[in-house]
Structure 1
Amino acid sequence: MQWIIPCDLNYYDIRVAIEKLHIIDLRQNNSFNIDDIVYIYASAPYQKIMFKTRVVEVNVPYEQTIDDRDFGKIFEDEEESKRKRDYVRLQLINTSDSEALSLTHLMKYGLKKAPQAAVKCIGDKLQLGEYISECFGGSSSISIDTSDQDIEEVINYLKEYHGKKYIQVEKLTNEDLKNEMIEFRKRGQNARKQLLDIANKVIDNPEFSEYEVSKRIDWINQAQNGCDYFWIEFKKKEFRESPSSISLVVSVEEYYPTFVALSVEAKDGKCTEDDYQKHNRLISRDLPNNDAYYVTTTFKDTNHSITNLSREEIMRKYHNGEIKKIKLQMDINEPYSDLISRLRAGIKVLEPYYLLAVSDELGDGYEVLEDDEIYYEGSVTTVKVNKYERNQEARRKCIEIHGCQCKICGFDFEKTYGEAGKGLIHVHHIVPISSIKEEYQIDYEKDLIPVCPNCHSMIHRKKEAYTIKEVEDMLMRKSNDTY
């Protein structure tokens, strides 16, 4: 069943509520059923259908409703009556600001006036329901993204079987143990498939057409070693033979601060010494944001271990030969609502580091810090700078002055991806520190510039980086060619 229900914005700001919560509880005045589709009509000044939702729960008592008091007006004399009502729980599927869903257009397809109560899209309103569904980009058969629930199920599976080792059923004689292993395998393969489905949804987007997903299922290998984590590899097709990738990792291992993360890493089984050297150049780049950190593997311990070492200490250990592999990891924190968009935004942030790990053309110099000095391989001089000049303080100051919009192409993560992209941007040193031949104090306004990952990749596409002007000219020429 499809419904249209009105929302008076003078009473309840559903626009902000649904953006923040993704699931809302509204007063239940009708006979809704689970999986019914409910379109929400926003009152003046919009006067259009703006949200497509799905009924996920009915007859919700007031005491169990989601706290949304920040988004509506509260009248004391209504509080008691609210407690006596039941509520319907709606999950956001899609939003629209299209004029095609305005009252004027809806009336052409059978709506007689602005809805004052719930309207069923049946009978003479059937055409109306079909029209609205098409406006939201689909037929009446609704495809609902359950990625947030799927990732939770993967996590719960790993928690339940954490450390458990799979034994091949063919080798067992005990029927109880045999059945236990069959269930272990069946659920594990299903959890692995759920993760693979999430990964495929991530790259099912024109912006990610250059990427492909690892097709290996890999459940049994992980289960035989103790079922602690799953991973999926995202690789650009041109670098599919490289051992490096951007990986989606779900782990219940103790040293992981979150259950879900994206990481730029190299697989040991395929790595040559040259692969390690290229990949470990990651340490020469500024961290993209506060959710990213380094994970290291030492020569003495083949297990990954998240260290509390500073970037400077990791550099020293790496150049002293104590560290075998460095990977860059970005946490995906709970809750997992809007997961696909968040993973896409994360991949875009990590992409320049991935390209650095696989491309021979991206050749930044390594940095080694000793006390307050930074030494660059291949540099003829020692450059003295304060340590804070390449840390989060410099990033914060740059953004404070210039904002989070790319100064080259104008890309803005927050405008494109919403809340998940807020604050995401790279900070580029216009004058490379390695080229300065005297004591240096950074000028946050003139020396630093916010750029998106794509433009940052182009800047460092060759060893002697392109200038901002050169990349702007490339964009301008491409734009002229298009028109």
Structure 2
Amino acid sequence: MRWIIPCDLNYYDAINAFASLKTIDWRQNNRYAVGDTVFIYASAPYQKIMFKTKVLAVDLLYEDTIDDFTFWKVPVDEREKEKRKSRRYVRLQLIKFLECDDLGLESLLKQGLKKAPQGAVKCQNDKLQLGEYIEKYFAQDTLDDKLDVIEEDNYYEGNSVEVQLNRYERSVEAREKCIEFHGCHCKICGFDFEEVYGDAGRGFIHVHHIVPISEVKEEYLVNYKKDLIPVCPNCHAIIHRRKKPYTVQEVKQLLQNRK
């Protein structure tokens, strides 16, 4: 199944979120299935489809979701945070980022879209085949200088994906233990959010999985001392800048080479 969902980039920085995290957990309001394609429509002032993503997991609990609060441009208050805890989420992996006028609202309306998306829209099995029209442009060979293109064929292995999510990424306790053990500063560059931003930065840091997700097996039990490490968003983004992630030592060496 193919879907279109809206995103307001004025409120949520999806471009940098995908560049840093590669996957985003989205509020689940529809019956998505693992393997579905989800096109993300950027609302005004962009008014075009800019992202192609693939559903990796559905029905995720809040405590299983990826921490992406740093990419929200509008502060999220405590009331909203409490609401989010009761919702279910779908995990979307970026396949391709594209800026193309032919995927703008005017062109989409000519292809059968009724109005600018306000919620999830199915775009498959319709008379005008809107999904095929959109797919045609994402299938073209293009270069973009903002996000890496992910090769789809290497990422979907049925149950192994579910095992990775359920067994490895869900442990909030392991994340907290990692920070408690290593400290709440970047272990690569030393950046400390609280030191720079005061109370607003207290307790904030990304946690990187040293063991690649693709290597995690069903019986794997995460070791928060050896398998997880706190890193700042910048270093985390560089780690995942290439298909085979840089190691922590490699990123440290990149910093040393610049001195």
TM range (shorter): 0.5 to 0.7
Structure-2 change in CA distance of 1:82 and 1:147 (3 Å):
closer
Q: Report the residue type matching 2:69 in the other structure.
A: R
Partner of 2:243: 339
Partner of 1:273: none
Distance 2:53 2:122 in 1: 14
Whether 1:92 aligns to 2:100 is no
Partner of 1:48: 48
**Unaligned 5+ runs, structure 2:** 141-150, 158-236, 247-254
Determine helix, strand or coil for the equivalent of 1:124: coil
Determine helix, strand or coil for the equivalent of 1:19: helix
Structure-2 change in CA distance of 1:125 and 1:89 (3 Å):
farther
Distance 2:132 2:245 in 1: 27
Deviating above 6 A after TM superposition, structure 1's stretches of 4 or more consecutive aligned residues are: none
Structure-2 change in CA distance of 1:337 and 1:126 (3 Å):
farther
Please say if residues 32 and 55 of structure 1, whose CA atoms lie closer than 8 Å, have aligned partners that are also in contact. Answer: yes
Once the two structures are TM-superposed, the CA of residue 146 in structure 1 deviates from its matched residue by: 2.0
Distance 2:69 2:30 in 1: 23
Whether 1:80 aligns to 2:82 is yes
- Could you tell me the TM-score, scaled by structure 2's length? 0.56
Structure-2 change in CA distance of 1:103 and 1:340 (3 Å):
farther
Once the two structures are TM-superposed, the CA of residue 26 in structure 1 deviates from its matched residue by: 0.4
**Counterpart among 113, 118, 136 of residue 115 in structure 2:** 113
Partner of 1:132: 134
Structure-2 change in CA distance of 1:76 and 1:335 (3 Å):
same
Determine helix, strand or coil for the equivalent of 1:39: strand
- Could you tell me the TM-score, scaled by structure 1's length? 0.31
Q: CA RMSD in A?
A: 3.1
Structure-2 change in CA distance of 1:128 and 1:148 (3 Å):
closer
Structure-2 change in CA distance of 1:56 and 1:396 (3 Å):
closer
Whether 1:14 aligns to 2:22 is no
Once the two structures are TM-superposed, the CA of residue 75 in structure 1 deviates from its matched residue by: 2.4
Once the two structures are TM-superposed, the CA of residue 123 in structure 1 deviates from its matched residue by: 3.7
**Counterpart among 132, 144, 147 of residue 152 in structure 2:** 144
Determine helix, strand or coil for the equivalent of 1:9: coil
Deviations 1:266-289 (A, max 9, x none): xxxxxxxxxxxxxxxxxxxxxxxx
Determine helix, strand or coil for the equivalent of 1:134: helix
Structure-2 change in CA distance of 1:68 and 1:130 (3 Å):
same
Distance 1:341 1:67 in 2: 19
Pick the structure with more helix per residue. Answer: 1
Deviations 1:342-367 (A, max 9, x none): 8xxxxxxxxxxxxxxxxxxxxxxxxx
Correspondence 1:247-286 to 2 at 5 A: none
Once the two structures are TM-superposed, the CA of residue 14 in structure 1 deviates from its matched residue by: 1.1
Correspondence 1:81-480 to 2 at 5 A: 81-124=83-126, 127-137=129-139, 144-146=152-154, 338-339=242-243, 396=258
Deviations 1:209-234 (A, max 9, x none): xxxxxxxxxxxxxxxxxxxxxxxxxx
Please say if residues 14 and 71 of structure 1, whose CA atoms lie closer than 8 Å, have aligned partners that are also in contact. Answer: yes
Once the two structures are TM-superposed, the CA of residue 20 in structure 1 deviates from its matched residue by: 1.2
Q: Report the residue type matching 2:154 in the other structure.
A: T
Structure-2 change in CA distance of 1:50 and 1:334 (3 Å):
closer
Structure-2 change in CA distance of 1:125 and 1:40 (3 Å):
farther
Partner of 1:4: 4
Structure-2 change in CA distance of 1:61 and 1:105 (3 Å):
same
Larger radius of gyration: 1
Determine helix, strand or coil for the equivalent of 2:126: helix
Distance 1:16 1:78 in 2: 22
Distance 1:53 1:126 in 2: 22
Please say if residues 148 and 337 of structure 1, whose CA atoms lie closer than 8 Å, have aligned partners that are also in contact. Answer: no
Structure-2 change in CA distance of 1:65 and 1:396 (3 Å):
closer
Structure-2 change in CA distance of 1:144 and 1:131 (3 Å):
same
Q: Report the residue type matching 1:56 in the other structure.
A: L
Distance 1:80 1:125 in 2: 41
Once the two structures are TM-superposed, the CA of residue 121 in structure 1 deviates from its matched residue by: 1.0
Q: Report the residue type matching 1:82 in the other structure.
A: R
Determine helix, strand or coil for the equivalent of 1:41: strand
Please say if residues 62 and 85 of structure 1, whose CA atoms lie closer than 8 Å, have aligned partners that are also in contact. Answer: yes
Structure-2 change in CA distance of 1:67 and 1:396 (3 Å):
closer
Q: Report the residue type matching 1:134 in the other structure.
A: K
Determine helix, strand or coil for the equivalent of 2:93: strand
Whether 1:26 aligns to 2:26 is yes
Partner of 1:58: 58
Which structure would you say has the larger RCO, counting Cα contacts within 8 Å and 6 or more residues apart?
A: 2
Deviations 1:158-212 (A, max 9, x none): xxxxxxxxxxxxxxxxxxxxxxxxxxxxxxxxxxxxxxxxxxxxxxxxxxxxxxx
Partner of 2:198: none
Partner of 2:220: none
Please say if residues 111 and 128 of structure 2, whose CA atoms lie closer than 8 Å, have aligned partners that are also in contact. Answer: no
Between the aligned residues of both structures, percent identity stands at 52
Once the two structures are TM-superposed, the CA of residue 36 in structure 1 deviates from its matched residue by: 0.1
Distance 2:102 2:81 in 1: 37
